[in-house]
Amino acid sequence: MDIDFSLVLVCLVGACGALWLLDSLWIKKYRLRAVADYKATQAKGMTDDKVAQHVAVLSQEPMIIEYAKSFFPVLLIVLMLRSFLVEPFQIPTGSMIPTLEVGDFILVNKFAYGVRLPVIGTKIFDVAEPERGDVMVFIPPHVDSYYIKRVIGLPGDTIRYEDKRLFINGELISEDFVEEIDIDTNLGPLAGTLHTEIINGVEHATQHITAVNRQRSRTTWVIPNGNYFMMGDNRDNSADSREWGTVPEKDIVGRAIAVWMHKDPGLNLPTFSRNQRIK
């Protein structure tokens, strides 16, 4: 299971806010009482500078309260930005190659498909629905982890994928051959082909491994209401809706909009050479 940073932020904001509130309602009055008692019993005859020093010490907030008050607004702003506007993600696998590479850091628009409460994911209000061709971050039905794939099928669509050909509602989605390439796999580099594909006006690259022609037992899917069919652009090296089924609307996270940084695995410095809008 991936670390849920939204949950971590909610806990931190809640803890800092609770400490701030506890200090305001209860702890602070003991500091004020200590200052008043000092002035009434011990401050007589002392110089003003000496009294001010003692009052400053007695009025000093505990370090944990001071940190809580300092971090609360910063953490709250970060939580609001990540939960309702834009959240960063890192691409861990090659299922979206050539569109997205392993090590890409991307920005995900959390507002695109509706505003949801952090952690629990309950939608507050709608903004728009996913469209064919969108690159979307979601939680798949078989594992509690963030996945990123391309939206291929909408509710009510009939999707067929057979012999490396994609059909949407009976219409063949053509791919234009670009060039022959080598594709990295667990077995090492294999010969493959690079193509361009257009879905709903969105032109993007796809790739296929020449030697792989795995025929799945199921080739046709009718998408239920409130669900979406997802596929990776690395068509022969992607675990997607062809294996684990459709994605319910409630498990949508947001739409991927841009690559803002890239870092190759290992001891490599990040680069910004791949900065681009995702399409």
Say if residue 51's pLDDT is above 90. Answer: no
Q: Is the Cβ–Cβ distance between 69 and 20 less than 8 Å?
A: yes
Q: CA 2, 111, 226: angle at the middle one, nearest 5? A: 75
- How many other C-beta atoms lie within 10 A of the C-beta of residue 42? 11
Span of 10-19, 31-40, 220-229 with lowest mean pLDDT: 31-40
Say if residue 60's pLDDT is above 50. Answer: yes
State the Cα–Cα distance between residues 136 and 97, nearest whole angstrom. 14
Span of 38-52, 124-138, 192-206 with lowest mean pLDDT: 38-52
Span of 102-106, 208-212, 259-263 with lowest mean pLDDT: 208-212
Percent of the chain with pLDDT over 90: 65
Q: Is the Cβ–Cβ distance between 220 and 209 less than 8 Å?
A: no
Burial 13-29 (b: 16+ CB within 10 A, else e): beebbebbeebeeeeee
Percent of the chain with pLDDT over 70: 96
Half-sphere exposure of 61 (CA within 13 A, CB side): 15
Determine the 3-state secondary structure of 221 from DSSP: strand
- The active-site residue, picked from 83, 95, 238, 241, is 95
149 catalytic residue (yes or no): yes
State the Cα–Cα distance between residues 149 and 240, nearest whole angstrom. 8
Q: Return the amino acid letter for 259.
A: V
Q: For residue 127, what pLDDT is reported?
A: 87
Say if residue 1's pLDDT is above 50. Answer: no
Determine the 3-state secondary structure of 257 from DSSP: strand
Long-range contacts of 124-129 (CB under 8 A, 24+ apart): 129/154
- How many other C-beta atoms lie within 10 A of the C-beta of residue 244? 14
Q: Is the Cβ–Cβ distance between 79 and 10 less than 8 Å?
A: yes
Q: What are the tens digits of pLDDT across the range 255-265?
A: 999 999 999 88
- How many other C-beta atoms lie within 10 A of the C-beta of residue 99? 23
User: Is 147 or 37 the better-scoring residue by pLDDT?
Assistant: 147
Torsion angle defined by CA atoms of residues 84, 85, 89 and 95, in that order, rounded to the nearest 10 degrees? 90
Q: For residue 7, what pLDDT is reported?
A: 84
pLDDT level of residue 214 (50, 70, 90 thresholds): low
- The active-site residue, picked from 6, 83, 110, 149, is 149
pTM for this model (two decimals): 0.83
User: Is 220 or 46 the better-scoring residue by pLDDT?
Assistant: 220
Q: Is the Cβ–Cβ distance between 246 and 188 less than 8 Å?
A: no
50 catalytic residue (yes or no): no
